[in-house]
Structure formats: C-alpha cells, structure tokens
Chains A and B, each alone.
Chain A
C-alpha cells in the first residue's frame, strides 16, 4: 500500500509570492494534518482537516490556509511568502478525527529567497 505522498518535493519561491503544496493520504485515511518543520526544530502543527472541514488550527497567521477534497487529498496554501516560511512542510494522515497515531509523508522542502 502506498504511504502518504506529497508534491512537489522541493520548491523555491521569492518573497511575496504564493505557494500551493499537495498531499494524498494513505488509502482509507480521512484526516489530514499539516506541519511546518524549520531547520533544527521539531514539527509544528498548522492544520487538521477531517471530512473536508477544518477541525484544528495551530498558531499560524492567516496567510496560511488549506482545504481537503472529497477524495481526502489536501492542499496547503501560503500567501505573501516571507523568508521565515522556508521550512520542510509535512503532511500526516490518520484514520479518523482526533489525533491518535499519524503517518507522515516525505515532506516538501520550501525555500523562500
């Protein structure tokens, strides 16, 4: 069975631009969460989506938004990019709402110049 997949693998953007990152959860998993991991730190929670609705949000500005599609895949959007948005963005899927164990994808490395 395929694990969590994310695209693209790497991305370079300029300050002020917008970016969209994509995630496909493990087959049968209905919940997707997004995390930001800056270099040298643990991942920080951004969003959780379940059944196409936002169920949880971390301490991130409104420049960050996401959505979940009927097939449970998800997109993370970041507007007005700042240098500090450079990070590894991780998507995690879980079977149901509520955290329990989460399974992570390989991440998208975003570099903002």
Chain B
C-alpha cells in the first residue's frame, strides 16, 4: 500500500547537537516530497520541498533534507538544534507529482524534544 512512514515517534536531542529525522515512502514513482513543522496549537509551516534535480535541498531555519531514490527516503537534518526547534515534524508526499488533486499524504509525525 502507498504510505509515508516516519519510524520515530519521539526524538530527544541536546541543544547544539545534530539532528536527523527519518522519512520513508512507498510509491511506484518518485513523488514530490515535503517536510513541515508544527508548533503546539499551530498550523503547519513548510520547511523544504523536493521536486527533482539536486538530491540535497536546503530549507528555512537551517534545515536540509536528502532524497535517496534507492532507499525511498527523504531524511531531514540540521547540524545544530536550538531550543526553538522543539515541535512536531511531518513528512508529506504528493504522489501525483503536481498532476493530481488528492492532497498531500502525511506521515504520523515525529515529536522533537530539545534537552538543555
């Protein structure tokens, strides 16, 4: 079945340490890929997106993500986290790569906790 998997429900990272959040998808073709962040009680903010081309994409707030076709993965990274990065992170796919109208499919999210 087509799906988006975020294997880690919770991740705890010390402030200043590096971060990697995992995302795997199972679709026949390479979908468009996105990472969103959601602070408590808020809507979703787009961090970065991948449509095609360079497999390492840069986003806002110092985040980057790497698309690996062979692993069907789109992992989010940040070299040094700040306390303000504590939030819920969602990986999402557009399985029709801009050609459909069935919305984004989201993973279940990873809750990021920052330790002082």
Contacts and interface: CB of A to CB of B under 8 A. Distances in A.
A44 B103 CA distance: 9
A100 B94 contact: yes
B32 A100 contact: yes
Given A42-B106, A42-B108, A43-B106, A104 B44 contact: yes
B53 interface: no
A33 B90 CA distance: 17
A54 to B, nearest CB: 9
B104 interface: yes
A25 interface: no
Nearest to B109: A42
What range describes how many residues of B lie at the interface?
A: 20 to 34
What range describes how many residues of A lie at the interface?
A: 20 to 34
Nearest to B4: A42
Interface in A46-62: 46, 48, 50, 55-56, 58
Given A99-B32, A99-B94, A104 B45 contact: yes
Contacts of A42: 4, 90, 92, 106-109
B1 interface: no
Contacts of B51: 100
Instruction: Give me the 6 closest cross-chain CB pairs, A-B, nearest first.
Output: A45-B103, A42-B106, A56-B101, A55-B101, A99-B94, A104-B44
